[in-house]
Amino acid sequence: MLRTHKCGELRKAQVGETVTICGWVDSRRDHGGLVFVDLRDRYGKVQVVFDPSEGAEQHAAAGDVRNEDVLQVTGRVVARAPKDVNAKIPTGEIDIRSQKLVVLNKSRTVPFEPSTTNPPNEEFRLKYRFLDLRRPRLQELVLFRHRLTKLIRDYFDRDGFLEIETPMLGRSTPEGARDYLVPSRVHPGCFYALPQSPQIYKQILMVAGFDRYMQIARCFRDEDLRADRQPEFTQVDIEMAFVEREDILQTVDGLVKFLMREVRGEDFPLPLPRLTYREAMERYGSDKPDLRYGMELHDLGPLVQNCGFSVFKNTLAGGGRVRGLCAPQAAEKYSRRQIDDLTLFVKDFKAQGLAFFRVTEAGLDSPIAKFFTPEEQAAIKAEFQAQPGDVIFCVADKPSVTSAALGALRSRLGKELKLFDPNQMHFAWILDFPLFSWNEEEKRWDAEHHPFCNPVPEDVPFFETDPGQIRATSYDLVINGYEGASGSVRIHDPAVQQKVFDLLGIPAEQAEERFSFLLEALRYGAPPHAGIALGLDRWVMLFTGCDNIRDVIAFPKTQKASDLLSGAPSTVDARQLKELSIRVEEPPK
RNA sequence: GGCUCCGUAGCUCAGUCGGUUUAGAGCGCUGGCCUGUCACGCCAGAGGUCGCGGGUUCAAGUCCCGUCGGAGUCGCCA
């Protein structure tokens, strides 16, 4: 070992001991006579004093030391005089008086200091990720991720779950997200796909009798990125046999309670709240509402069906809806111009427009208020129990558009009006999703969750009459407006599986070709089973209060899926391509 | 693929409404001084294809078009 102690662990208790420590130069203060160096490792930093009276050589060498050089220092731990104590750091009551200095490695001048209080832009941080990761904040996030992952493993281990690895090189299935493909050398023209999730394998593990499975699984989806989406990400993948929906919900409820206690010391009440999909869409306009605040959507149809405002009246007459929400005390924060911005915002969600009313003592103040009788105004005000200073926003449109537009508006206003405590974590289940959704462009039914999701048994008759009515035995766990986990009871009956494929328009022979290994497995005694997958990156992000997923991933990719540190993706040698029987059609410029 | 924002010294930024001169500051860097600093201090200094390309103009960091890169978002994400 090159060290006897870590920099950050030294305290008054070690005073008098001679120690050897290693670390990076966090900063150097050269007083000509005395030289002070803050030496940093991942446990913290400690001040080393280089005094000429302890040896001319080590003192002179300290004068040549620069930031981020790697040092090994042997010296005595001494207590600081009371006036010299630095209360800002845990090691501030002691110094290391150097007796020997070894420069283990010089550093080039770093493009930015890990100790900076004002980190550079993200592009630069990603290019020099090894320096960025030296920053205390990032070290803290990496450490927390380790801890959370370990707690999750412990929780499932204690409950008898087995961690089983599944292949990374699998078979491409055209449904779902775009696959990342890996060419096969020994099978020219054939490709593996990296897993979008271990879905099929974990179901097969159930058939194989491993009735409690979990895996911290890396997954890959070649879709466009977001603040909470990376092309490769980590799922806590769970599957259980001989269980019902309720068992999965309770298992995850227990995990949440366990984590909230271990991480935050909070006694989290169970069960977690549950809402149906229909209820979520009706009250919040979203299937993943942020439930840290209210500001619910209200149906204004009955109140305005006879009003003088033709937009509302005509929309209602045409089968549309008029819905709205009441933004508390927004009148002063939103000028006319800012409301125009909100109007543009809801147009992104296909809304034709955004009506608004400023709530006053007397009634409603708005360019369109004149179209509403005093009674109608009073009714709208009463519907929201609106207070003077509030602003009521309304969208009149197709039902789905009112949800999408108002759901997005609610989310935006919630942030802008700071309607929630950023430290709070709110978990809720969304249940009874539709099993299928109608794809208007392609004129066909799509699986809302995935094609292996079991329908709610009493809805099975709807297969013949109204597939849109079929509820799925699926469930999402929503955390602060993010989809934190998603799962379902699976189909274990080949006949039901066949019904689903039929409705999705996947011909029997095609289903057989794509999923034969699953379908075959289901025919050999598949137990009823259900599962769920947690988005580990998002959980870490939410627990740590980060606003993007990249900060909790050691080596993340940019929005264009590049790794700025390594330069991936890159072109490859012609020889490699030839070996793989691949010809690139249009070589990059 | 669409929309929006950003790109000036190694880094963080200023550079105005309204186009012009030698493009500035702080941090960092280099040299010197300094024995109790911890955002050390003091003195001196170096450092710029204003992302890139084109256009408008007597004149472009500034205006216009394109492009590259980064971010947010819609589509997409069974």
Nucleotide nearest to A227 (CA to C1'): B72
DSSP letters along A219-274, please? EE--S--BTTB-SEEEEEEEEEES--HHHHHHHHHHHHHHHHHHHH-----SSPPE
What does DSSP say about strands A44-50 and A35-41: parallel, antiparallel, or unpaired?
A: antiparallel
Distance, CA of A536 to CA of A553 (rounded, Å):
10
Query: For residue A586, what pLDDT is reported?
Result: 65
Among A152-161, A253-262, A300-309, the range scoring the smallest mean pLDDT is A300-309
| E-only strand ranges, A542-582 | none
CB A529 within 8 A of CB A202: no
CB A568 within 8 A of CB A268: no
Nucleotide nearest to A439 (CA to C1'): B78
Nucleotide nearest to A197 (CA to C1'): B78
CB A461 within 8 A of CB A443: no
Residue with tokens 């208007």: A440
CA distances in angstroms from A427 to A139, A237, A471, A478, A481, listed in the order given: 27, 18, 22, 6, 9
Residue A498 binned pLDDT confidence (cut-offs 50, 70, 90): confident
A101 CA to B29 C1', in Å?
24
Among A107-111, A409-413, A500-504, the range scoring the smallest mean pLDDT is A500-504
Nucleotide nearest to A199 (CA to C1'): B78
CA nearest to A436, candidates A513, A504, A372: A504
CB A229 within 8 A of CB A223: yes
CB A215 within 8 A of CB A202: yes
Predicted confidence (pLDDT) per residue in A343-385, tens digit: 989 998 999 999 999 999 989 999 999 999 999 999 999 999 9
Q: Average of pLDDT values for A513-522?
A: 85
Distance, CA of A577 to CA of A589 (rounded, Å):
17
**DSSP letter, residue A344:** H
Nucleotide nearest to A349 (CA to C1'): B74
| The two structure tokens encoding residue A7 | 């920099």
A126 CA to B31 C1', in Å?
33
A306 CA to B18 C1', in Å?
54
Query: For residue A515, what pLDDT is reported?
Result: 81
Residue A395 binned pLDDT confidence (cut-offs 50, 70, 90): very high
**More confident of the two residues A311 and A337:** A311
pLDDT of residue A587 exceeding 60: no
Among A108-122, A153-167, A316-330, A510-524, the range scoring the smallest mean pLDDT is A510-524
pLDDT of residue A438 exceeding 90: no
One-letter amino acid at A411 equals: S
pLDDT of residue A130 exceeding 70: yes
| The two structure tokens encoding residue A82 | 């009371």
Task: Give the residues across from A365 on adjacent strands.
Answer: A358
pLDDT of residue A589 exceeding 60: no
A528 CA to B60 C1', in Å?
71
Q: What are phi and psi of A303, to 5 degrees?
A: -80, -25
Percent of chain A with pLDDT over 70: 99
Nearest protein residue to the C1' atom of B6, measured from CA: A121
ipTM of the complex: 0.93
Distance, CA of A282 to CA of A424 (rounded, Å):
24
Q: What is the mean pLDDT of chain A?
A: 94
Distance, CA of A220 to CA of A177 (rounded, Å):
9
Packing angle, helices A536-544 and A136-158, rounded to 10: 120
| The two structure tokens encoding residue A365 | 């103040």
CA distances in angstroms from A549 to A121, A133, A213, A422, listed in the order given: 16, 15, 26, 16
Nearest protein residue to the C1' atom of B74, measured from CA: A348
CA nearest to A274, candidates A243, A298, A245, A240: A245
A524 CA to B22 C1', in Å?
85
Give, as ranges, the nucleotides of chain B with any atom within 7 Å of a protein CB.
1-2, 10-13, 27-30, 33-41, 69-78
Nearest protein residue to the C1' atom of B27, measured from CA: A116
Nucleotide nearest to A448 (CA to C1'): B78
Q: Is the dihedral of CA A302, A308, A311, A317 positive or negative?
A: positive
Predicted confidence (pLDDT) per residue in A174-197, tens digit: 778 999 999 999 999 999 999 999
A337 CA to B19 C1', in Å?
30
Percent of chain A with pLDDT over 90: 88
A117 CA to B39 C1', in Å?
10
Among A241-255, A469-483, A502-516, the range scoring the smallest mean pLDDT is A502-516
A402 CA to B2 C1', in Å?
22
Q: Average of pLDDT values for A145-164?
A: 98
Distance, CA of A83 to CA of A327 (rounded, Å):
54
Residue with tokens 């009874």: A432
CA nearest to A402, candidates A483, A282, A318: A282
* CA torsion angle A285 A290 A293 A295 (round to 10): -10
Predicted confidence (pLDDT) per residue in A546-576, tens digit: 999 999 999 999 999 999 999 999 999 999 9
| The two structure tokens encoding residue A452 | 């292996």
3-state secondary structure of A137: helix
Predicted confidence (pLDDT) per residue in A49-104, tens digit: 999 999 999 999 999 999 999 999 999 999 999 999 999 999 999 999 999 999 99
